Chains A and B, each alone.
Chain A
């Protein structure tokens, strides 16, 4: 399969809680991006992390990258109902020069 794996596939939490999503991939990468997609809408870019970076922050978002384990995680702190969306990781395959998307995590934040 060309896709990376994300887990969990679905996550339901209460407002104010933290949400953690994980992404695993198979090949060497140059960078990895996280995107949000609201139902029926386009992609919203969240964070890009390069292969020589281990952690990156943007507001309530924290992304980590472990190239030795070929995995990344996205942490959303103090979640809000507006964070309800699907979240995808996309890895840049340095062998094929293509971005491959993960299967996605559907996050639901309950008010």
Chain B
């Protein structure tokens, strides 16, 4: 089955530093990946759509200069939280779309918990 991995699974950083989160599709090619954020006891909110070889598209209210997305290959997208602050502490989840499947099925990674001190 399709597997999406994320690294790291958990990261703690100091305020003002930048953190990079990787999302990989392990056994399929994904021209499109998605990044979600989840605050405690809330649902997942879509942040941005990552397109291989082109700029990401961001949802309304998401700062593109703060959340840098790079989708350099068909199996890897990265999310960099720049100058992180405590309010950025959240659970970040990526998903990847399997272009080979008729219904554009999408598979989710296990998530990365970011804590900014």
| A binding-site residues for B, Cβ under 8 Å | 2-3, 30-31, 33, 35, 40-43, 45, 48, 50-51, 88, 90, 92, 97-104
Contact = CB atoms under 8 A, between A and B. Distances in A.
B35 to A, nearest CB: 11
Nearest to B2: A45
A42 B107 CA distance: 12
B43 A102 contact: yes
Contacts of B59: 2
Given A31-B103, A42-B111, A45-B108, A98 B34 contact: yes
A99 B46 contact: yes
A30 B93 contact: no
A33 B105 CA distance: 9
Contacts, number: 55
A41 B104 CA distance: 25
8 contacts: A3-B45, A42-B111, A43-B93, A43-B111, A92-B105, A97-B97, A100-B46, A101-B36
Contacts of A2: 45-46, 59
Q: Chain B binding site: helix, strand, loop or mixed by DSSP?
A: strand
Interface residues of B, number: 24
A4 to B, nearest CB: 9
A100 B44 CA distance: 8
A35 B46 CA distance: 16
B44 A88 contact: yes
Contact of A99 (B34, B91, B109, B110): B34
Contacts of B45: 2-3, 101
Interface in B27-56: 32, 34, 36, 42-46, 49
Contacts of B80: none
